[in-house]
Amino acid sequence: MGVRRVDTSFGSFYYRHGTVDMNAVSPNFEAPIQHFMKLEKGVFLDVGAHIGRYTVQIARELDGTVLAFEPHPENYALLLRNIELNGLSNVKAFPYAASDVNGFSSLWGWENDAYEKGMYTLRYGEDGPKGWKFVEKVKTVRVDDIIEELGITDVRLVKLDVEGFEYRVLKGMPRILREARPRIAFEGSLLPELTEFLNGFGYSVKHYPGVQMNLGEPV
């Protein structure tokens, strides 16, 4: 595994060869939802930004701002390198994990993560199951609080890739859901609690099983 560079139509990227990074920088990455992952104006929230595929792809064409959240230190370092590589001045990156509370929590990853460099989560709290390893303590933030602190109101698109922690992240952004009413893309199974929660804010949700992604839109 070594860091290489690739230049694509949607941006240039440093990535770790032989890891899941290669999927993230592929032109075919999450192809069924690419129509949804476009924004011309406003604010895009990339929660679980990994090395910055969507941060870079959207920021390059955006008249607005991208806020990118990535708590894993190695991924965050590559995210910053990719922001700089593409000369993006409209991105603010944070080495934080989004949650429904401000504080600190344990970040967990697969024990054998030589390939899977995107599988990190807070969902196990302080006691990770067999097959997972403790990475480090990370700062957690409510996205609503960050938005308020920055004085941002025009959030139009949100992407969540937080490995089973989506519900907790969404619970930390009720003001955004209620007032800004952005479109939302989030990874994983469409759990009943997520559907019920988003329905309560007037959202419809569609599941795309081929890529294990869900798209939520205000109705």
Backbone angles phi, psi at 28, to 5 degrees: -95, 5
Residue 97: C-alpha distances to residues 49, 177, 188, 203 (Å): 10, 19, 18, 24
Query: What CATH number has the domain bearing residue 139?
Result: 3.40.50.150
Span 134-149, pLDDT tens digits? 889 999 999 999 999 9
The answer as to whether 176 is a domain residue is yes
For the entire predicted model, the pTM comes to 0.95
The answer as to whether 106 is a domain residue is yes
The answer as to whether 5 is a domain residue is no
Encoded amino acid at 165, one letter = F
Encoded amino acid at 181, one letter = R
**Given this model, what pLDDT does residue 183 score?**
98
- Distance separating the N- and C-terminal Cα atoms of the chain: 45
The answer as to whether 66 is a domain residue is yes
The answer as to whether 9 is a domain residue is no
Given a cut of 70, is residue 19 above it in pLDDT?
Answer: yes
Span 179-211, pLDDT tens digits? 999 999 998 888 889 999 999 999 999 998 888
Q: How far apart are CA 105 and CA 22, in angstroms?
A: 29
Q: The domain containing residue 84 runs over which residues?
A: 32-218
What total of structural domains would you count in the chain?
A: 1
Q: Measuring CA to CA, which residue among 193, 205, 149, 153 is closest to residue 169?
A: 193
The answer as to whether 25 is a domain residue is no
The answer as to whether 38 is a domain residue is yes
Span 96-116, pLDDT tens digits? 999 999 999 999 988 776 556
The answer as to whether 112 is a domain residue is yes
Given a cut of 90, is residue 118 above it in pLDDT?
Answer: no
Strand locations in the chain (E) = 3-8, 11-16, 41-47, 63-69, 91-94, 97-99, 103-110, 120-121, 132-142, 155-160, 183-187, 203-208, 213-218
Residue count of the chain, please give it. 219
